[in-house]
Amino acid sequence: MKAICKFHWDCGRGGDVEGLFIAEKADVDALIGKEVYFGEILGKHSEVYGTIEEGEITIVTTDQDFIAKFEEIFKPRNGVISGYDPFDYLKEEGEFEDPFEATEGPAIDD
């Protein structure tokens, strides 16, 4: 079942990350606990990332008739109505690792 969902992260002084999008309700439920990486969306060196937690995505409506009419009239691109869709920023395994973390590898000669 499709749902119109609202996403919100309060990032303090840096700003907020918000989005309104259409997705399958089951997919939204499965998104809880997943890591997302938005990059520098709040300005240079902002590095916005984290784990989606309960309450950060709310269901606005699951009225299928309304959603069908809305999609017909507005034709949202990839389900995004406004702002950021966390599905577009899911972190893949091994992706976006901290470049400053110690890693094993060849030694650097002085």
Q: What is the pLDDT of residue 107?
A: 43
Per-residue confidence (pLDDT) for residue 102, from 0 to 100: 44
Calpha distance 35→86 (Å, rounded):
9
pLDDT for the residue numbered 91: 84
Domain ranges, ordered by start, for the chain:
2-89
- Say if residue 5 is exposed, middle or buried (CB neighbours under 10 Å; 0-12, 13-18, 19+): buried
Quick one: pLDDT at residue 60? 97
pLDDT at residue 100, rounded to an integer? 47
- What value, to the nearest 5°, has the Cα angle with vertex 64 and ends 56 and 22? 40
| pLDDT value at residue 108 | 46
pLDDT at 103: 45
Over the chain (110 residues), what is each successive 10-residue block's mean pLDDT? 97 94 96 94 93 96 97 92 94 58 46
- Give me the pLDDT at residue 97, please: 54
Residue 98's pLDDT is 53
